[in-house]
Amino acid sequence: MGSTVKSLKGQHHQLADSAFQLNVLQQSRRQGDEFPAFAERLREHGLYPLTPTGTTILQVNVGKMCNQTCRHCHVDAGPDRKEIMTRETMALCLQALQRAPQITTVDLTGGAPEMNPDFRWFVEEISAMGRHVIVRCNLTIILANKKYHDLPAFFKQHGVHVISSLPYFQASRTDAQRGEGVFEKSIKALQLLNEVGYGQEETGLLLDLVYNPSGAFLPGSQASLKAEFKRRLSSGYGIVFNDLFCITNLPISRYLDYLVQSGNYDSYMQKLVDAFNPAAAAGVMCRNTISVGWNGYLYDCDFNQMLDLKVAPKAMQHLRDFDVAALDARHIVLNQHCYGCTAGAGSSCGGETVK
Amino acid sequence: MENTYYNPADLAKFGNISELQPEMGRKFFDYYGEVFKEGALTEREKSLIALAVAHAVQCPYCIDAYSTDCLQKGADENQMMEAVHVAAAIKGGSALVHGVQMMNKIKELTM
């Protein structure tokens, strides 16, 4: 299931270096001219500098460790990544939440967040604070080891909102992106989640899926793909789910490597640039989200986190100095990868941003 | 002039056809946009039809555009290849059905 594939970092690949990635993003096209600067596009539409609309979501990346090594992973996660959040840093998150009641949602991501040994403690603590907890579960983790088999029951017990990636309703494209055998295991895991009530009407247990293209193309209409996923997963496997979120792949880390290796980088960037939508730009998720890294540093989003672009104000770049009111006055850090969130109907961890 | 009749970069310049006849160009693209909206057929079904027609008319621009569009709209590889077979069947069938005309002529001219 792809677990023998090494991360870019494990391969000592130059794209494991965030500065190198930023360099690639700044380069000119093969024809010599440059892609228009993202910040300039925002300026043209009166959106520069981009500022928060008010933070309501804390997205916490509890570590890069994962049982999968997906080809498009912007985190460069994998079994060979050992960077995970300590309980002390999680405690700083809890203190930050205590001081910021306006943050109503905590979105846990990774890697496979469940592989962090303090994951369950963290979920219990956040849940006890009455905050809405999202776990971005890769599905296969539920079957990866006996100790994870009870995750559906654990999620249910704490009313966790489960959001899981399933790039396609067939094995071919799912396995091409996420590793051999991932589709079959994902289907089994979805059935286990359904069995405890996830995705079923009237249980209140939310199971959403994330679709992101398995290749160098953009996602189509979310409503249309949702209808097709519902039809195929129901008729093929008896699976139900609540919502489907379309996420555009951003040109960083392993997806950037794929684009460069496959000769698709220029044309993909051009697609993103051509699909720039000011309405999507106004609704980007960095305007209501703060992203926390495994070591407690703060970012405008999980993508900026992987590019090591910390929040701009130097005095508040770590959880120790968390002050949501001050952070809400910051200017969001932008770069060329941001075109990924403003293409077409927009893209965020909650799918399309233009309703 | 280009050295080849077809240049992939020209696909992105499709809109430029309006430069020499703006009114007709506008009307065409408005119509085009309307045709491909979700209606009695889904956007995905329309994209698959377009892919089949692209093969029937052997337009490389359209094949590029609608292969990408079908992928974006969530069509799978089997559906896309079946659409191409529909085009092939109709093209092949349209050649073969003229065999009846040939047979009619044979009948007319032979003893």
DSSP state of A209: E
Domains of chain A: 14-341 (3.20.20)
Q: Is the pLDDT of residue A2 over 50?
A: no
Chains A, B: CB contacts under 8 A, how many? 35
**What is the distance in angstroms between the Cα of B48 and the nearest Cα belonging to chain A?**
14
Residue from the list B43, B68, B77 with its beta carbon closest to the beta carbon of A221: B43
Compute CA distances A123 → A6, A160, A298, A305, B83, whole Å.
29, 8, 20, 22, 48
Partners of residue A218 in chain B, C-beta under 8 Å: 72
| Rounded Cα–Cα distance for residues B27 and B25 (Å) | 5
Stated as kind and residue range, the H or E segment containing A134 is strand A132-136
Higher pLDDT, A74 or A3: A74
Could you give phi then psi for residue A248, rounded to 5 degrees? Answer: -80, 135
Model pLDDT, residue A171: 94
* Residue B30, pLDDT score: 97
Residue B51's alpha-carbon distances to A86, A169, A236, B74, in angstroms, are 52, 21, 26, 14
Mean pLDDT of all residues in A92-108: 98
Residues of A in contact with B68 (CB under 8 A): 217
The predicted model gives A26-55 an average pLDDT of: 92
| Mean pLDDT value across chain A | 95
The minimum CA-CA distance between A225 and chain B, rounded to whole Å, is 6
Q: pLDDT tens across B52-95, in order?
A: 999 999 999 999 999 999 999 999 999 999 999 999 999 999 99
Report whether pLDDT(A35) > 70: yes
In A3-137, alpha helices (H)? 18-26, 38-44, 87-99, 119-128
Residues A18 and A306 sit within 8 Å (Cβ to Cβ): yes
**CA–CA gap between residue A254 and residue B23 (Å, rounded):** 46
**Quick check: A215 contacting B, CB < 8 Å?**
yes
How buried is residue A304: exposed, middle or buried, by Cβ count under 10 Å (0-12/13-18/19+)?
A: buried
B77 interface with A at CB cutoff 8 Å: yes
The answer to whether A217 faces chain B, any CB pair under 8 Å, is yes
Which pLDDT score, from 0 to 100, does residue B1 have?
53
The CA-atom distances, in angstroms, between A28 and each of A36, A119, B105 are: 10, 43, 64
Does B44 reach chain A within 8 Å, measured CB to CB? yes
Q: Indicate the residue type of A274.
A: D
Predicted ipTM of the assembly: 0.77
Task: Give the tokens for residue A248.
Answer: 């555009």
As a whole number, mean pLDDT of residues A88-114 equals 98
The pLDDT, as a whole number, for residue A354 is: 85
Question: pLDDT band at A1, cuts 50/70/90?
Answer: very low
> Which of A170, A220, A274 lies nearest to residue B72, judging by beta carbons?
A220
Report d(CA A332, CA A13) in Å as an integer.
Answer: 29
Inter-chain CB proximity A220 and B68 less than 8 Å: no
| Chain B: closest CA distance from residue A33 (Å) | 15
pLDDT given for residue B2 in this prediction:
60
Asked if A224's CB is within 8 angstroms of B38's CB, the reply is yes
pLDDT band at A238 (very low <50, low <70, confident <90, very high): very high
Please report residues of A whose CB lies closer than 8 A to that of B44: 220, 224, 228
For range A278-295, the mean pLDDT: 96
Q: Hey, what are A20's tokens?
A: 């190198």
Q: What is the per-residue pLDDT for A3?
A: 46
Partner residue opposite A224 with nearest CB, options B12, B43, B77:
B43
Enter the tokens of residue A290: 């703060």
pLDDT in tens, B6-42: 988 899 899 999 999 999 999 999 999 999 999 999 9
Cβ of residue A225 closer than 8 Å to a chain B Cβ: yes
- For B16-109, CATH gives 1.20.1290.10
pLDDT digits (tens, 9 = 90+) for A178-226: 999 999 999 999 999 999 999 998 999 999 999 999 999 999 999 999 9
